Structure 1
């Protein structure tokens, strides 16, 4: 299965989200909520634009010590957040996957 973006609407809060899934089906980047589907679609376009460049990745560590990353836009706003990883190597593999798949993955609209 190739990598893909999924746009969906939460039953819990009626907001729209997108996630980028790797070819193994695991989510590698998740957005924050958007009030409209167009907002989520714009978020996907922002990932496509920013994901190839390493300087847009903010490598972080959670309070519990788990490595993760945020992908940020040119204005510094977070576009998406990764899952928590068990190692910094895992985090780097996740970043590499977003760099590879982010610019061209197709979008699946689940709304």
Structure 2
């Protein structure tokens, strides 16, 4: 069972704190920022926008109900 830190769980609920980025090598990823601006989670790298979007959707679906 995965345990989510409370700040990750609450940040996932607010998509404005989720930032999508692309590396210099054109790999796609995303990260979450806490209310204080600190990065609290960084994703793996994805080769397509679709796979990154699917990962974001899964996290947004699972995180609110995950135990802390």
Please report the TM-score for the alignment, with normalisation by the length of structure 1: 0.55
Runs (5+) with no aligned partner, structure 2: none
Q: List aligned pairs for 1:18-97, cutoff 5 A.
A: 44-97=5-58
Query: Relative contact order, CA 8 A, sep 6+: which one is greater?
Result: 2
Paired residues in the alignment total: 68
From the two aligned structures, give the one with the greater strand fraction.
1
Which one of the candidate residues 1, 4, 9 is aligned to 2:2? 4
Return the offset for 1:97.
1.1
From the two aligned structures, give the one with the greater helix fraction.
2
How many Å separate the matches in 1 of 2:27 and 2:53? 13
How many Å separate the matches in 2 of 1:99 and 1:85? 17
Ranges of 4+ aligned residues in structure 1 off by more than 2 Å: none
